[in-house]
Amino acid sequence: MPTNLKTYIRDVPGFPKPEIVFKDITTLLKDKDGFRAAVDQLADKYKDRRIDLVACVEARGFTLGAAVAYKLGAGVVIARKPKKLPAKTIREEYSLEYGTDALEMHEDAIQKGQRVLVLDDLLATGGTALATVRLVERLGGTVVGVAFLIDLAFLKGRDKLKGYDVQALISYDHE
């Protein structure tokens, strides 16, 4: 079983903008050992925390989150971009470098008191994760933790998530 998950991550310079080095996780997802190791390691961090639901963030978070939920014996709820969910939703806006975006969740996705792990593939500036945390809490869920495969630590996204148990398997301290 692989121990250094960084070896499975591909750097793609210039995507989606020239100054960005994109951390591509598809190379990890396609490798059965890398994928299994990532799911097992994420689930292991929360195996004794009585997780009821894993809130997965669009889109790469769905892949990891569903697998982690299965491993934990939990259900899955999803946070999506606006107008992608079919039933009645609640919405949370968050700031981007230039402007705002939003996430939505079905208003019946979480019952009061359910213990929820928020999970996404990557922590950058923290806006998406914080929006998901707020959706969970507005629906009455208790956020047990916020987990990521990758933390781009140099962007300081953890600062927006102070007070929450934030875990990441891989950390990049510089671009």
Report, as residue numbers or ranges, the catalytic residues. 60, 97
Q: Could you give the CA distance from residue 128 to residue 1 in angstroms, rounded to a whole number? A: 31
CA distance readout (Å), 17 to 13, 80, 117, 143: 9, 23, 31, 33
Closest to 111 in 3D by CA, of 164, 80, 64, 75: 75
Largest Cα separation within the chain, whole Å, is 44
Please tell me whether the peptide bond between 59 and the residue prior to it is cis, using omega within 30 degrees of 0. Answer: yes
Virtual CA dihedral for 148, 73, 39, 153, nearest 10 degrees? 10
Q: Which helix (H) or strand (E) holds 66?
A: helix 60-72
Q: Are 82 and 91 in contact (CB under 8 A)?
A: yes
